[in-house]
Amino acid sequence: MVRRYLTLIASVVIMLCVGGVYAWSIFVPPLRADYGLTTAQTQIVFGFTIAVFAIVMILAGKMEKRFGARTTTLVGLVLFVAGYLMASLSNGSVVYILVGIGILSGAGIGCCYLSALVSPVKWFPDKKGIVVGLSVAGFGGGAILLSRIAERLLNNDMDVLLIFRRIGLLYGLIILISLCFLLPPERKEGSKEASGRSVVSLVKDRGLLGLFFGMFAGTFAGLMVVGNLKPLGLSYGVPESQATLGISLLALGNMLGRILWGYVSDRMRERTSIILALSFLSVATLALLLVSWHGVLFLVVALAIGMGFGANFVLYAREVSHIYGVDNLGLIYPYIFLAYGLAGLSGPAIGGRLFDMTQTYTLPIVVSAMICAVGIAIYNLLAKKAAEQQEVDL
């Protein structure tokens, strides 16, 4: 049916637009040089964007359930465009940039991401893994696309605030066109219902807690590397050109990994893909200790870590839709996604702090790998207990 493929394509396009949030670092130098922002201030803006994005997804899930994906995306579109326009008119004021991009656009991203995630899954309930993988691959690729666009405009001496305005208007138009193709399928009877469940009941759900801890472990390790990759490579003697290239390869791995793990998860038993992905990320992270042997190894490891990191944005959404039903993905998954927000606040900061204490990235690398291992143990234990409880209830 053509309608479901149009929905999938529209979802990927929307994800490409809002996924540009990961290209924020390209705006940091001009904001510092032209408007006097400190590095800390630029990172506070980025941190707010990620945190608001994760929190607003909970509200977006309820909105999507009640009003549908199109309305939710439209609200996100308005917030996203308003945020970038406010930043473009800020005259470099960190407060206006924080409110515009950190809060308004962050909220817009949360609404658009949620709608673009759940819409195609409803059309492909038998291929949840690969469909989620394709959708969120767009989000991973958004950083590559926007960094290319912004780099070219900056090289042509365009003011960074004017770039914000063009991003808001251009991406807003693309999202507006795309949301018209987020077409809902006919609702089927007998679907699982979770809308009546309270937050307290969700917190007591061992299966959900297992998914939360698993996602925190995976995104903590991934974000620790994302936030520190270039200086980490330089500290181990990797040439600067290769350390910089490693950033692009990690982003590429992040995008490709989302598709690959989506494909893999559709062909594996329950829980196996999550345990395998966390194990893969743990080993890939530890491999950073070997990059001093050869610079090319750093590039390979960066690609592998990106692939392991990307798994987090596929496997947990897929598992939620499997356990709680496709119709409840938008309601339940945002609570799991809060683990990503928590990891975003802690992973890069703890990695940097441990480096300041030891003047080496060895300890941050080992800690990240250990957290992945602990995440495997906690997830596996809670998932087993949830399955046993379900058998008893039956």
Q: What residue spans define the domains of the chain? A: 2-179, 199-387
**Residue 324: what pLDDT?**
81
Residue range 45-63: mean pLDDT, rounded:
89
**Residue 138: what pLDDT?**
87
Higher-scoring residue by pLDDT: 111, 136: 111
Q: What does the alpha-carbon distance between residue 281 and residue 206 come to, in Å, rounded to a whole number?
A: 24
Assess whether pLDDT exceeds 80 at residue 187: no
Contact (CB, 8 A) for 100 and 79: no
Class of the 2-179 domain? mainly alpha
Contact (CB, 8 A) for 181 and 123: no
CATH classification number, 199-387, choose in 1.10.30.50, 3.30.200.20, 1.20.1250.20, 3.30.56.10? 1.20.1250.20
Higher-scoring residue by pLDDT: 374, 125: 374
**Residue 188: what pLDDT?**
55
| Residue 231's pLDDT band (cuts 50, 70, 90) | confident
The owner of tokens 């997830």 is 379
| Residue 197's pLDDT band (cuts 50, 70, 90) | low
Report the share of the chain in percent with pLDDT over 70: 93
Give the highest mean pLDDT range of 155-169, 194-208, 220-234, 257-271. 155-169
**Residue 93: what pLDDT?**
93
Q: What does the alpha-carbon distance between residue 230 and residue 226 come to, in Å, rounded to a whole number?
A: 9
Rounded to two decimals, the pTM is 0.81
**Residue 166: what pLDDT?**
95
Least trusted range by pLDDT, from 1-15, 61-75, 190-204? 190-204
Q: Determine the distance from the C-alpha atom of residue 335 to the mean position of all C-alpha atoms in its chain, rounded to a whole number.
A: 14
Assess whether pLDDT exceeds 80 at residue 227: no
Assess whether pLDDT exceeds 70 at residue 55: yes
Q: Which residues contact 91 (CB under 8 A, 6 or more apart)?
A: 35, 161
Assess whether pLDDT exceeds 80 at residue 25: no
Residue range 97-101: mean pLDDT, rounded:
95
What are the pLDDT digits (tens) for 294-310? 778 999 999 999 999 99
Mean model confidence pLDDT for the chain: 86
Q: Measure Cα distances from 324 to 220, 277, 331 in Å.
A: 25, 22, 10
Assess whether pLDDT exceeds 90 at residue 373: yes
Task: Dig out the tokens for 346 from the structure.
Answer: 């802690």
**Residue 116: what pLDDT?**
92
Q: Are domains 2-179 and 199-387 of this chain identical in fold?
A: yes
Q: What does the alpha-carbon distance between residue 65 and residue 84 come to, in Å, rounded to a whole number?
A: 27
Query: How many CB atoms are located within 10 Å of the residue 9 CB?
Result: 15
**Residue 40: what pLDDT?**
76
Assess whether pLDDT exceeds 50 at residue 190: no
Q: Which residues contact 336 (CB under 8 A, 6 or more apart)?
A: 208, 211, 212, 215, 316, 317, 320
Least trusted range by pLDDT, from 191-200, 204-213, 305-314, 332-341? 191-200
Q: Which residues contact 69 (CB under 8 A, 6 or more apart)?
A: 115, 116, 118, 119, 179, 182, 184
Least trusted range by pLDDT, from 169-173, 325-329, 385-389? 385-389
Assess whether pLDDT exceeds 70 at residue 202: no
Assess whether pLDDT exceeds 90 at residue 330: no
Task: Dig out the tokens for 165 from the structure.
Answer: 């305005």
